[in-house]
Chain A
Amino acid sequence: MIRRKWRWLAISLQLLALVAFIYHSVQADSVATSVTVGNSAPSFTVDPAESPASSSTSPTDVGSSITFTATASDPNNESYYLIICKTNSVSPTNGGAPTCPGGSWCVSAATTSGSQASCSYTTQQSDSESNDWYAFVCDGNSSAASCSTASQGTGDSGSPFKVNHPPSFTAISNDGPADPGATVTWTATASDGDLDGTADTVKLVVCKTAGISAGDCDGGASDRWCASALTSSNPSCSYSVPVPTADQAYNAYAYVVDNHNLGSSDTTQGSNSSYTVNNVAPVVSAVTINSGTDITLTEGTTTSVVLGATITDNNGCGDVSTATASAYRSGIGYAACDTSAEANDNNCYPVINCSVVASGNTCDGASDASADYECTVSMQYHADPTDLNTQYPTENWLDSVIATDDNGASHRAEVSTGVEVNSLVALDVTGSISYGNLTVGQKNDPLDKTTTVTGTGNVGLDVELSGTDMSSGSDTIAVTQQKYALAASTAYASGASLTTTATEVELNVAKTTDNASPATKTIWWGIEIPSNTPPGTYSGTNTVGAVKGETVDW
């Protein structure tokens, strides 16, 4: 019995040993038989990424460069290549750079294991909006080159990369010319075919000088005529021409950019769609004559009368090249007093030069539209009166101011309310009366001493004659001893006696109409020395007073 128990124990122990031995042997055979030395593919230690990262909202513009980077490690410590393929397929090359059977975006140079590799791709117009990429790292083993599996990166820096194409811009036009104060509108024929994400939009920017930057004129807001809002196609924008603005052509460079500020590459981009500001005629306002005051002339000479106006030119006050004025009696009218040939010192003073006032509302540069002007007319003493008891009592005097710009456009405005030219009753008495040596009882017969009365005002004249007794010490010769007549060869007895009382005489001196030959009339004088007049030198005063004559006698 005991032998059988110990036999089974031994057998069990042997079986157990056998199992242990077999297990150990198996282990010992794996370590001993699995080791084989050969080339291994590199592997990514830093995932590939594109730079700059592109997305639908921030694509890479055509013509810009995308750089792909990654870091890999090669178990054999060989250099590796980073290759970006268009498809998930790569072909390692023994002793050289790998290739992509389906096309490649780029491949790096051989890079030391553990160092970052990079390669770049410049986007093309022909690229799609969205472009897949597959990154591989491959070694260039001379006999058994090997590549990793593909990696597409992650997030925006991963595949795909997005390409933004420039908008199309084929034509530009504007609706000029425009007046100052009006609007010039540019319209572009433009669109953008990119649809990835949301469809791209376009805007028009019109610049004063060539060049844009970041979707705007490179000189900033002051360099910009206008910019449109983003729109799907054919953008337009407008510029309000300020007042004043000089009449000339203005350069306007047109640019179309998309919502990513990528400008068009078409030939129309940056072309000059210049516009012209029209010349507009000046406007005359606030016309005055003698500051609205009736004109009082000066005996025998001219009187300065000031005419004024405000001239406004929406091309700028400097656009006014000449300003002239005409002053005229209302019955003459401007039409008969607008040329030098029509000048008539009685009723028409044409083409008087005007100039900007020295102080006050002057012409202050290109941003100033208005200036005050003054013109001075030298009005002759015989200019037609228009007050009561004259030839033209229902008329007055007016003036017109004419402004002409440097393109010959002109505007005339007449004063809204005229002024009177007052009657000037005036005379000059020339000549001298020498009665000569007379004895008692002697007389000038016929009356043969003359005085000449000249009209030096603007009315016809009669005269009042009066005098004083002549005296020499206490001796006198009565004033009535002097006589006068209005015709030659009048006998002394027929003459009118001079008195101390002013007596009106119908001399009928015509109204002077020509300063070169003023109207005149003659008075004949004579005296008789009464008896018992002591000898001596006698003096006295005779007064010749001007009286406004009847208009029918002017």
Chain B
Amino acid sequence: MVLGWGLFGFVDSVRAGFGVSPAGLYHQHLKPGTCFSQDFVISRADPDEELVAVIEADLPEIGDWFQFEPGKKFTLPAGQKRVDFTIKVCPPNETPSDRYQGVIRVKATPREEEIVGVSVVKGARIEVDLTTSEENFTDLIVRQIKIGDVKGKEPIRVWLKIENRGNTVAAPDRLELEILDLRQQPLTTLQTERLAPIPPSETKEIEAQLETDLGSGEYFAWARVYLGDQLLRQERLVFQISGREKQALPEKETPKKTALFNRFKEKGRRSGFLILAAIFGFGLVLLALHFRRQKKAIPWVFPLLGGLTLLALAISWNQPWLKSSIPEAKPTPTPAAQVKGLTVEQEASASGENKFQPLKVVGQQEQIYYRIYRRPNLKAQVVYFATEGEQFQVLEERAHWYRVLLDDGTDGWLPKANVKEVNP
């Protein structure tokens, strides 16, 4: 037995955790002669001491492709939970098309002079899986679309943040901007094909400008980015134009009443004038036959009858200013809910269109809900979300609320403002 041997112990000198994200460096269409970069984050929940990040690459055959920014050794400062670094991969031009794999290890080591006893060093491994190819591959992702407010005669500016995941310079083919008023009535559609290209493996924000003579006001705009026929992304945006004449809302076409047509309340008014035209025309023909038989000159009554015939025909024609005097039934602007007899229904716009139909956009979901509360108080707990067209039985009525019966046998309070119709 040998006494006096030293104590062999492990000192838990590094208590905080350590992690790296993302956990892989992948590319399936890396073109030799181009470069591809990816950002990583080293994170520590409890960065109570300064450490040194050490990167060790285990990349058979391809180690020379890799560059590390800020380097293979850098400081992880105390108090900083996240530290970024970048790995750039540049396969040389003559690289054969093949799959290349390896790992990159990142570990956080204490400073050399601080090692006492046996230190436990934490690390993380990044998987590397690259496939080189000479074939062009295009893959654009529109990360974000933003629109700016317009002042004076400035054009509309739209910013597209686009990531080029392909291996060749690429740009979207066109940006389409469908502009609507705040009632979501279409006003105009603008388009531009002048979009800056994005280098491969890069993310860039490009600006597109579109001229418009819309007046001052606030607008919705559907921005759609296309690559060929492929819709990369569409987004509904809101922007404002100031410093111009105010934009007039599109007039809703309403038929004009005239005193003449006030007498005609039936849709058969046109047929009345057609009958008149027929009578005048028939009289004209009879007179023509008579005078021809008599071999007499055409009297003055002919032009008169002819004029009356034409007038009757014109009145019965579908001319805009002679249209029906019956105003088109304006869809009753409905409150949001109708309660049984109340039915929840969407609010109709002035033109009768349902403003809140699900958008015709693949992948985007929209929905309108009408809340039913536990008590007649907008701050009370919501017990049910009613949807368009739902009906409820009324149990009680107050000044601004209906108490309604829910399907599960319980009840809740629905604001009268969201009621479209009350059925007795």
Q: How far is the CA of A404 from the CA of B115 in the complex (A)?
A: 58
The proximity string for A residues 340-364 relative to B, scoring 1 for CB distances below 8 Å and 0 otherwise, is 0000000000000000000001000
Q: Are B238 and A409 in contact (CB under 8 A)?
A: no
Q: Are B143 and A457 in contact (CB under 8 A)?
A: no
- Closest Cβ of chain A: how far from B335's Cβ, in Å? 7
Instruction: Give the total number of A-B pairs whose CB atoms are below 8 A apart.
Output: 334
Using known A-B contacts A300-B17, A425-B19, A546-B123, determine if residue A413 contacts B366 with beta carbons closer than 8 Å.
Answer: yes
Residues of A within 8 A of B330 (CB): 175
Residues of A within 8 A of B109 (CB): 541
B292 at the A interface (CB under 8 A)? no
Considering the complex, give the chain A residue whose CB is closest to the CB of B235.
A416
Tell me which of B14, B142, B220 has the highest count of chain A C-beta atoms within 10 A of its own C-beta.
B220
Total interface residues on B, CB under 8 Å, equals 97
Using known A-B contacts A292-B144, A409-B418, determine if residue A432 contacts B10 with beta carbons closer than 8 Å.
Answer: yes
Q: How far is the CA of A175 from the CA of B329 in the complex (A)?
A: 11
Q: Are B123 and A182 in contact (CB under 8 A)?
A: no
Q: Which of B41, B143, B238, B333 contacts A370 (CB 8 A)?
A: B238
Q: Are A433 and B366 in contact (CB under 8 A)?
A: no
Q: How far is the CA of A139 from the CA of B304 in the complex (A)?
A: 67
Q: Which of B10, B18, B105 contacts A435 (CB 8 A)?
A: B10
The proximity string for B residues 152-176 relative to A, scoring 1 for CB distances below 8 Å and 0 otherwise, is 0000000001000000000000000
Q: How far is the CA of A412 from the CA of B369 in the complex (A)?
A: 8
Using known A-B contacts A408-B415, A535-B2, determine if residue A285 contacts B123 with beta carbons closer than 8 Å.
Answer: no
Residues of A within 8 A of B22 (CB): 294, 296, 387, 422-424
Residues of A within 8 A of B5 (CB): 437-440, 529, 533, 535-536
- Closest Cβ of chain B: how far from A316's Cβ, in Å? 11
Residues of B within 8 A of A288 (CB): 144
Q: How far is the CA of A288 from the CA of B161 in the complex (A)?
A: 12
Residues of B within 8 A of A400 (CB): 365
Considering the complex, give the chain B residue whose CB is closest to the CB of A437.
B7
A123 at the B interface (CB under 8 A)? no
List A171-197 residues whose CB lies under 8 Å from chain B. Answer: 175-183
Q: Which of B43, B218, B365, B368 contacts A414 (CB 8 A)?
A: B365
Binds A, one of B62-70, B305-313, B370-378: B370-378
B269 at the A interface (CB under 8 A)? no
Binds B, one of A69-77, A110-118, A157-165, A239-247: A239-247
Binds B, one of A26-34, A208-216, A276-284: A276-284
Q: Are A427 and B12 in contact (CB under 8 A)?
A: no
The proximity string for B residues 352-379 relative to A, scoring 1 for CB distances below 8 Å and 0 otherwise, is 0001100001011111111101000010
Q: Are A293 and B143 in contact (CB under 8 A)?
A: yes
Q: Are B6 and A409 in contact (CB under 8 A)?
A: no
- Closest Cβ of chain B: how far from A279's Cβ, in Å? 5
B338 at the A interface (CB under 8 A)? no
Considering the complex, give the chain B residue whose CB is closest to the CB of A286.
B237
- Closest Cβ of chain B: how far from A126's Cβ, in Å? 30
Q: Are B142 and A298 in contact (CB under 8 A)?
A: no
Tell me which of B118, B120, B234 has the highest count of chain A C-beta atoms within 10 A of its own C-beta.
B118
Q: Are B143 and A425 in contact (CB under 8 A)?
A: no
B204 at the A interface (CB under 8 A)? no
Using known A-B contacts A412-B366, A437-B5, determine if residue A300 contacts B105 with beta carbons closer than 8 Å.
Answer: no
Q: Are A181 and B249 in contact (CB under 8 A)?
A: yes
B287 at the A interface (CB under 8 A)? no
Residues of A within 8 A of B218 (CB): 243, 312, 368-370
Residues of A within 8 A of B14 (CB): 429
Q: Are B350 and A299 in contact (CB under 8 A)?
A: no
Q: How far is the CA of A284 from the CA of B235 in the complex (A)?
A: 11
A250 at the B interface (CB under 8 A)? no
Residues of B within 8 A of A546 (CB): 18-20, 122-125
Q: Which of A417, A425, A432, A449 contacts B11 (CB 8 A)?
A: A432
Q: How far is the CA of A368 from the CA of B218 in the complex (A)?
A: 8
Q: Are B235 and A286 in contact (CB under 8 A)?
A: yes
> Can you list 30 A-B pairs with a CB-CB distance of less than 8 A?
A179-B347, A179-B350, A281-B336, A285-B236, A296-B21, A297-B21, A297-B43, A300-B43, A301-B81, A310-B237, A312-B220, A370-B238, A409-B347, A411-B368, A412-B367, A413-B364, A422-B23, A423-B22, A425-B21, A427-B122, A429-B122, A432-B11, A433-B10, A435-B10, A437-B8, A454-B17, A533-B5, A544-B122, A545-B105, A546-B123
Starting from the known contacts A426-B18, A539-B119, 17 additional A-B residue pairs (CB-CB under 8 Å) come to: A179-B350, A280-B355, A291-B143, A292-B142, A292-B161, A298-B43, A310-B238, A321-B378, A370-B238, A408-B418, A411-B367, A411-B369, A412-B369, A424-B20, A464-B123, A536-B6, A540-B119
